[in-house]
């Protein structure tokens, strides 16, 4: 039995439950982050809005001012997973990036040209796209929710550790050491970089930032016990 920890609360229809044979895999999902919305009094002007995460979309849609801006401006997302939350609400983004910040920034810069862009983010966001954008693009950002590390949690020992954000990775390894037998997966390159900075020697990265891609990585890379 291969035991897997995933650093998020998994829905009943998650690929981790649907696509991994129950007889061969045991999955434990828990977010190591506490989320809370931030009160927004004013939304800065911009031509574009950029969403780093699914939670950024969810909190923006809950806010009256941001919801209005979403329907008035062009929209960009970090990846397909974030784009899917907009699409579930009948909104199609104008640009969808990938898990690679530099590549996403390069593509985005050709699309928005000399327009302005507002990044909607969490307080602990690494702002991985902004640093790669050229100076002819006007960049601003707005914290719309908090993602603070949990201080109390218990995780059983597992064979595979799957991290879905840098803060989750930092929180886990702030409490538990990496065992020599454990394999570490990252949902994207920003999370993988955070794991590398924590001293994790080998990190497997999903081909795209989604649960489905993570499950495919597990099935294709690791032998079943």
Residue 136, domain CATH = 3.40.50.10090
Residue span of the structural domain in which 166 resides: 2-32+150-221
Same domain, 73 and 137: yes
Are 39 and 25 found together in one domain? no
Per-residue pLDDT 10s for the chain (225 aa) are: 999 999 999 999 999 999 999 889 999 999 999 999 999 989 999 999 999 989 999 999 999 999 999 999 999 998 888 999 999 999 999 999 987 889 999 999 999 988 999 999 999 887 788 889 988 899 999 999 999 999 999 999 999 999 999 999 999 999 999 999 999 999 999 899 999 999 999 999 999 888 999 999 999 988 665
What does each C-alpha distance from 198 to 31, 112, 145, 152, 176 come to in angstroms? 19, 34, 25, 20, 12
Are residues 100 and 180 located together in one domain of the fold? no
Same domain? For 123 and 23 the reply is no
Looking at the fold, whether 79 and 117 belong to one and the same domain comes out as: yes
Q: Which of 148, 174, 194 is the last residue of a domain?
A: 148
Q: Domains in the chain: how many in total?
A: 2
Rounded to two decimals, what is the model's pTM?
A: 0.79
Is residue 184 located within the same domain as residue 194?
Answer: yes
């Amino acid at each position: 039995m291969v035991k897997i920890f995933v650093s998020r609360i998994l829905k009943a229809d998650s690929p981790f439950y649907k696509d991994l044979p129950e007889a061969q895999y045991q999955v434990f999902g828990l977010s190591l982050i506490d989320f809370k919305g931030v009160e927004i009094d004013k939304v800065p002007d911009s031509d574009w809005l950029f969403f780093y995460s699914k939670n950024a979309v969810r909190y923006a849609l809950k806010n009256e001012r941001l919801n209005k801006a979403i329907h008035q401006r062009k929209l960009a997302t970090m990846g397909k997973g974030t784009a899917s939350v907009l699409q579930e609400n009948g909104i199609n983004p104008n640009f969808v990036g990938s898990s690679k910040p530099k590549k996403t920034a390069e593509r985005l810069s050709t699309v928005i040209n000399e327009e302005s862009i507002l990044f909607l983010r969490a307080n602990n966001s690494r702002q991985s796209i902004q640093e790669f954008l050229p100076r002819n693009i006007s960049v601003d950002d707005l914290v719309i929710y908090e993602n603070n590390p949990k201080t109390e949690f218990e995780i059983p020992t597992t064979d595979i550790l799957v991290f879905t954000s840098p803060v989750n990775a930092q929180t886990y390894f702030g409490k538990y050491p990496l065992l020599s037998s454990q394999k570490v997966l990252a949902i994207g390159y920003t999370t993988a970089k955070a794991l590398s900075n924590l001293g994790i020697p080998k990190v497997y990265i999903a081909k795209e930032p989604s649960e489905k891609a993570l499950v495919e990585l597990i099935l294709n890379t690791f032998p079943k016990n």
